[in-house]
Amino acid sequence: MSARISLFAVVVEDMARSLEFYRLLGVEIPAEADAAPHVEVVLDGGVRLAWDTAATIRSYDPQWQAPTGGHRVAIAFEFPGTAAVDAKYAELVDAGYEGHLKPWDAVWGQRYAIVKDPDGTVIDLFAPLPGA
């Protein structure tokens, strides 16, 4: 059997605050998950997205420290059209989340924008440009 990506996990300091961001992004997460130390959801396409509190990670890896400096991982969410990218970026920034790069038409044929979740994880928002 070959390996396949099954799950992406994000380490968070405040589960409820982080899940609020992802709900606003459009991920369906039950309200009772806010108090859990580990949360998983299955996204369209079958890949799982999970969140673990820093305390959960430290329970089995006491030396764990949050990364510093630039990002090494981004989670990209595709939207049905370019206007949806612009609208979601504006909605997230208006809600107080950090906008990293405002929406632009990328040379690779996508409308693209970048925001950061409450813990600094880079979240890419994109949609194919018409005719691309």
- Which CATH number does 74-128 carry? 3.10.180.10
CATH class of 7-59: alpha beta
Smallest CA-to-CA distance from 74 within 104, 115, 45 is with 115
83: enclosing H helix or E strand: helix 82-94
Residues 6+ apart with CB under 8 A from 58: 64
Position 23 pLDDT exceeds 90: yes
Residue with tokens 């405002």: 102
- What average pLDDT score do residues 12-33 get? 96
Q: What is the mean pLDDT of the chain?
A: 93
8-state DSSP, 98: E
HEC secondary structure over 57-68: HHHHCCCCCCCC
Domain(s) of CATH 3.10.180.10: residues in the chain: 7-59, 74-128
Give the tens place of pLDDT for each residue, 40-86.
999 988 999 999 999 999 999 999 888 877 777 889 999 999 999 99
pLDDT at residue 132, as a whole number: 75
Residues 120-130 have a mean pLDDT of 94
